[in-house]
Amino acid sequence: MSVSTAIKQRVTKLREEINHHNYLYYVQDAPEIPDSEYDRLLRELQQLEQQHPELIVPESPTQRVGATPLSEFAEVRHRVPMLSLNNAFEAQEVEDFDRRARDRLAVKEIVYTAEPKLDGLAISLLYEDGVLVRGATRGDGATGEDVTQNVRTIDSIPLKLVGRNFPRVLEVRGEVIMTKSGFEKLNQTQRDKDEKTFANPRNAAAGSLRQLDSRITAARPLSFYAYAVGVAEDGELAKTQFQLLAQLRQWGLRTNPEIKRVKGVRGCLDYYHAIAEKRNRLDYDIDGVVYKVDELAQQAQLGFVSRAPRWAVAHKFAAQEEMTKLVAIEVQVGRTGALTPVARLEPVFVGGVTVTNATLHNQDEIERKDIRIGDTVIVRRAGDVIPEVVSAVVSRRPKGTKKFVMPDKCPVCGSEVIRLENEAVARCTGGLFCAAQRKQAIKHFAARRAMDIEGLGDKLVEQLVDQDMIHDVADLYKLSVAELAEMERMGEKSAQNIVDALEKSKATTLPRFLFALGIRQVGETTARTLAQHFGNLDAIMHASEAGLEAVQDVGPVVAESIAHFFHEPHNRKVIQKLRHAGVHWPDIEVSPAQELPLAGKTFVITGTLESMSRDEAKEKLEQLGGKVSGSVSKKTDYVIVGESPGSKAAKAEALGVAMLDEQAFLKLLGHS
């Protein structure tokens, strides 16, 4: 069956629109539509191509997905070698480079194009008639590897050039990098999957681009910046390096926004200092700047020496990786109870600062890297990020080094330390008592969905702890109006309001109290389920892990977390103090879950209810055994519709899900 002209035209139009928005997003950094609209256009194109596969072309925006894995990379010989640059480390070396270039050109001053030296992987992109036909690594400069399938997955590399008047054959050169933010997300994903993490963004980018399975590359956050042209046939190029980069941008290729045209050696050095000052704020790693003679005719006149051009030089920054000795490993406790091993180092100058401490992340990372106390280690510093120990220099390992073992007691409060299944982080179980967790515990305890202590905001909690007025959540109930009134920005009326709010909060419910304790893995829903299953706090506190696992939706990890929390004497002592202070709640009459009137029913609430808040409606439904979800699906039993409902009501109608107005909802609660 032939494809209609209208469909062909629509497919062409969609591709043009998507390519236009890619250009605005990646090259101009000026998107004009939201991501949701871009996704809609791409989905429509995907659907049309699925229905009419004969319309699919390699340069379609839908064809970025990874292809069948390769057995090996093919070899690519560069028509024009991809040469390396000579390095300069001192201002004098830059002055010498400029002097030699001026002497050869017989000019008094040279205009340069200056750009950041990206710390990634050099790549060559070959376009024929505007369509990407090959991507290759630099390799040894003469020969690289064909990574076409992989570069096609990188969103900032156009599969088809935009604009007009580009050469029939155009080889573009640039750098594939991974941003710092993308690198952190990738490593977190690797840790979550208990897989090997990457040492730095450059290694991650290089490893991602050299995957035989391009589907792996497609899942990695890679970016591309163009900085040169290797080959151009049947087309006009600009006369200067700066204009050439502008030309590449017009054709849809991304170039670095920090690139500038500067005059003479003074302009070069001023640029170097400006970029060095800005370096830590950039979302990508750079290891220096590059100066290139701007006029391409002058570049040709200067030519090459050995394996490097005479018309360019890389002005490198101070090293950001250095070696030193790991003297000791200490453990810090974070605000959520996480224990982090920290390396104490012999002072070493890295990236412009003296480093004496560096993170080791966790026990698994120490073991994976085989880092021992007494080792010579490589320390990396990247911007404002906490320095980290990258690896041990095993060849320099002396006798008598010691392996690190995570303590089984919290170094701050002495509470038991546990590590839950599938978690890399060890944690202190003394959440209500530990001084390291004090501020976080109190803020959570006072929150609206917990004890709902009105007026006790984060800043006031910070002041109370910093001034040593409270040591745990129970101490809140000892505060007097006189004490509070003396605090900064706190009058007698405000102090009285907080004392009244504290008094009011004493009358609570068991689910709220359980949630307020801040037990890891126990959110509002789990707290309610525990309360309904056991009926009273003592039964929960004395329940075994097996008994806790009998509760609906409580698995082994959650059960272990609850059991360890209540097993810790420090936590039990604080709970006892809270009860003595007058915090109370009614016990719940225990009914088997299946006997609750709304057991097994799933509800979604949308819009504003007049008779109660959505939180109150959720609480009432859960008390009757119902489950409240945030999204509508075929498994939803009822959607409760208030005033000004959102898209959930429309989706419920489309799926044929029963909808209740507020009157019908109240009637349901009354009957139940």
Residue of 245, 56, 218 lying closest to 147 (CA atoms): 218
- Could you give the C-alpha distances from 243 to 110, 118, 172, 239, 546, in angstroms and in order? 16, 20, 15, 7, 71
Which DSSP category does 397 fall into?
A: P
Q: Please name every residue paired with 643 in a beta bridge, in sequence order, or none if there are none.
A: 608
Spatial contact of 308 and 283, defined as CB atoms under 8 Å apart: no
Give the span between the Cα atoms of 478 and 62, in whole angstroms.
64
Neighbours of 304 (CB within 10 A): 12
- Is residue 262 packed enough to be buried (19+ CB in 10 Å), middle (13-18) or exposed (0-12)? buried
Give the Cα separation of 463 and 625 in Å (integer).
Answer: 41
Q: What is the dihedral of CA 617, 623, 626, 628, to 10 degrees?
A: 40
Under a CB-based contact definition with an 8 Å cutoff, are residues 164 and 235 in contact? no
Reported in sequence order, the residue ranges of 129-251 that DSSP labels E, i.e. its strands, are 131-137, 143-145, 169-178, 222-233
In angstroms, the CA 260 to CA 301 distance is: 22
Is 504 tagged catalytic?
no
The C-alpha atoms of residue 344 and residue 338 are separated, in whole angstroms, by 19
CA 519/CA 522 separation, integer angstroms: 5
* Identity of the amino acid at 222: L
Bridge-partner residues for 380, per DSSP? 321, 388
Mapping DSSP onto H, E and C, the string for 531-580 reads HHHHCCHHHHHCCCHHHHHCCCCCCHHHHHHHHHHHHCHHHHHHHHHHHH
**Residue 204, token pair as written in the block:** 């991650």
Of the candidates 13, 108, 117, 402, the residue annotated as catalytic is 117
List helix spans (H) across 405-523: 438-446, 458-466, 481-485, 492-505, 510-516
Are the C-beta atoms of residues 600 and 635 closer than 8 Å to each other? Answer: no
> Which positions are catalytic?
117
